[in-house]
């Protein structure tokens, strides 16, 4: 075995060991212990969360306690997001990342949180309000798509499997509740193993309102903004379909996904190349998550 092959083998073994360990730490039994020990008040990277809401599963509570929830994204939020007058978050999910964004913003700033999943969007404002008293909070139950109008949204067993399904459109994510094979499959497998994106709702599809990033910004009169996005491939709708929508974006933390755009497969690396072509430079990359800036060096 060559040195390179040996390193690859060892890296694979280490990843599997980490996934196995994470699975044990975030098992339903571990989550029940965490809930009882913390009384559902979990401190996570300096922010305390009330996780009594039924949308939080035992696995998620344990993942928060052990700091295994969206580790790369939250780390980059704390390092690179803010100060900014306005931050737009696409794919706000449980509100955990939104609360971390809020902790970075000065009084009087504005936070716009967008979530397509009806079960998550319904209580999003309630979950965010304890963390955003110093801000103007705008919560929108919308999918980001290639054109405005209703779209079908498959409710998977996890938010990793919940995604847009619009057979009439070619700019949305694939019509499946199963995440496509991606260059970041190990990270996706790790997320699934510890259940950090699990939502106790499955089924679908359901119709949800959709809009473009450009329309979202125009409707809210947003010119300059920082962007945080994790929308399971729908980021192609603006990175490739309408790059001008990002003209006012100074910094971004994006989770990039392999997807289908205009009838062809595009990879996370293709999307990153598109961002670079728009004048963004990479501050940091960790797996599928990348921090970008247009600030001068």
SS3 call for 262: coil
SS3 call for 119: helix
What whole-number distance in Å separates Cα of residue 214 and Cα of residue 200?
A: 32
Q: What is the dihedral of CA 144, 147, 153, 156, to 10 degrees?
A: -50
Q: Radius of gyration over alpha carbons of the chain, in Å?
A: 18
Question: Of 199-203, 241-245, 283-287, where does mean pLDDT reach its minimum?
Answer: 199-203
Domains and their CATH numbers in the chain: 67-293 (3.40.50.150)
What whole-number distance in Å separates Cα of residue 139 and Cα of residue 224?
A: 18
Query: What mean pLDDT do residues 260-281 have?
Result: 96
Helices (H), the chain: 3-25, 28-38, 58-65, 71-80, 96-103, 118-121, 124-128, 185-194, 213-219, 236-239, 268-277
Cis status, amide bond into 72, omega within 30 of 0: no
What whole-number distance in Å separates Cα of residue 83 and Cα of residue 13?
A: 40
How many residues in total does the chain contain? 297
pLDDT digits (tens, 9 = 90+) for 188-213: 444 443 333 334 345 668 899 999 99
pLDDT digits (tens, 9 = 90+) for 143-195: 999 999 999 888 876 655 677 774 434 344 333 332 332 233 334 444 443 33
Mean pLDDT of the chain: 83
Burial of 178 from C-beta contacts in 10 A (0-12 / 13-18 / 19+):
exposed
Nearest Cα neighbor of 64 from 29, 40, 88, 36 is: 40
pLDDT digits (tens, 9 = 90+) for 86-132: 999 999 999 999 999 999 999 999 999 999 999 999 999 999 999 99
What whole-number distance in Å separates Cα of residue 272 and Cα of residue 190?
A: 22
Long-range residue pairs from 93-97, CB within 8 A, at least 24 positions apart, any chain: 93/117, 93/120, 93/159, 93/197, 93/230, 94/55, 94/56, 94/60, 94/120, 94/127, 95/124, 95/127, 95/128, 95/131, 96/44, 96/49, 96/64, 96/69, 96/70, 97/70, 97/73, 97/228, 97/230
Burial of 65 from C-beta contacts in 10 A (0-12 / 13-18 / 19+):
buried
pLDDT digits (tens, 9 = 90+) for 71-97: 999 999 999 998 889 999 999 999 999
What whole-number distance in Å separates Cα of residue 64 and Cα of residue 86?
A: 26
* pTM, two decimal places: 0.80
């Amino acid at each position: 075995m060559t040195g390179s092959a040996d390193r690859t083998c060892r890296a694979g073994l280490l990843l599997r060991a980490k996934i196995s360990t994470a699975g044990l730490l975030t098992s339903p039994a571990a989550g029940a212990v965490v809930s009882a020990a913390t009384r559902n008040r979990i401190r996570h990277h300096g922010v305390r969360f009330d996780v009594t809401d039924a949308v939080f599963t035992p696995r998620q509570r344990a993942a928060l306690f052990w700091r295994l929830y969206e580790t790369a994204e939250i780390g980059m939020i704390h390092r690179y997001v803010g100060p900014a007058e306005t931050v737009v978050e696409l794919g706000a999910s449980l509100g955990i990342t939104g609360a971390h964004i809020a902790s970075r913003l000065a009084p009087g700033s504005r936070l716009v949180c967008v979530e397509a999943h009806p079960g998550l969007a319904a209580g999003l404002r309630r979950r965010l309000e304890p963390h955003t008293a110093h801000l103007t909070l705008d919560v929108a139950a919308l999918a980001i798509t290639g054109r405005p109008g209703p779209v079908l949204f498959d409710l998977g067993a996890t938010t990793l499997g919940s995604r847009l399904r619009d057979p009439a459109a070619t700019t949305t994510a694939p019509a499946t509740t199963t995440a496509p094979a991606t260059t970041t499959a190990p990270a996706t497998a790790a997320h699934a193993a510890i259940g950090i994106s699990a939502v106790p709702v499955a089924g679908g599809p359901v119709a949800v309102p959709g809009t473009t990033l450009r329309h979202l910004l125009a409707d809210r009169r947003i010119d300059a903004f920082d962007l945080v996005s994790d929308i399971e491939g729908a980021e192609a709708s603006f990175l490739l379909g309408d790059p001008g929508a990002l003209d006012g974006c100074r910094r971004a933390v994006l989770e990039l996904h392999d997807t289908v755009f205009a009838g062809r497969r595009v990879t996370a690396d293709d999307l990153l190349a598109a961002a670079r072509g728009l004048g963004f430079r990479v501050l940091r990359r960790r797996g599928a998550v990348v921090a970008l800036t247009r600030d001068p060096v």
